[in-house]
Amino acid sequence: MRIITGFLKGRKIPMPNAEGVRPTSDRAKEGLFSALQSRISFAGIRVLDLFAGSGNLGFEALSRGAQSVTFVEYNKVCVEQIRELAETFDLAEQVQVYEYDVARFLDSFSNTYDLIFADPPYELEYMQQFPDQVLAADWLSEDGIFLLEHDKNNDFSEHPHCVFSKAYGRTTVSIFRKQ
């Protein structure tokens, strides 16, 4: 995996040697960032990357000008890789990493972000309720965007806050806004 654009363009993000990690494909990543470009400026935004895995999406956002990224990941191997990459890319001061279960994190902390990524396991038992959980809590800024990656078995296109939904291979990207 590589960073697509920005000051880290071309830098590699290794696939963590961790069970259950399913990185966003290059095709899906290009598509989702293309969809975001028309909806948000990355300059100076605060990003939350839930189910962060390799950190691929959060580091791409930083490369494009995000002010900071908070990574939330339960897998210790992934957490260590994200921390190491933050040091390697000289971004440690812009990165916070929490080794937490996402549901526990959302119940335990409170902050507001301009962009929230979530790439949960496709079999997440509360997938259908997940967008409402994020949107109901004050995690998103007023004009913020919540981007959820999921499989085709979950269709959020009719959700009242879904403004975009598109399949990229077996991954579907849905974008939600509060308004």
Under 8 Å between Cβ of 149 and 81? no
Q: What is the pLDDT along the chain (179 residues), one digit of tens a residue?
A: 889 999 999 999 988 776 666 677 777 888 889 989 989 999 999 999 999 999 999 999 999 999 999 999 999 999 999 999 999 999 999 999 999 999 999 888 889 999 999 999 888 888 899 999 999 888 999 999 999 999 988 999 999 999 999 998 888 999 999 87
DSSP 14: P
What residues pair up with 113 in beta bridges, in sequence order?
Answer: 140
pTM of the model: 0.94
For 26-176, CATH number? 3.40.50.150
Helix axes 56-63, 26-37, angle to 10 degrees: 40
pLDDT in tens, 89-109: 999 999 999 999 999 998 888
Under 8 Å between Cβ of 55 and 13? yes
Could you state, in order of their start, the residue ranges of all structural domains in the chain? 26-176
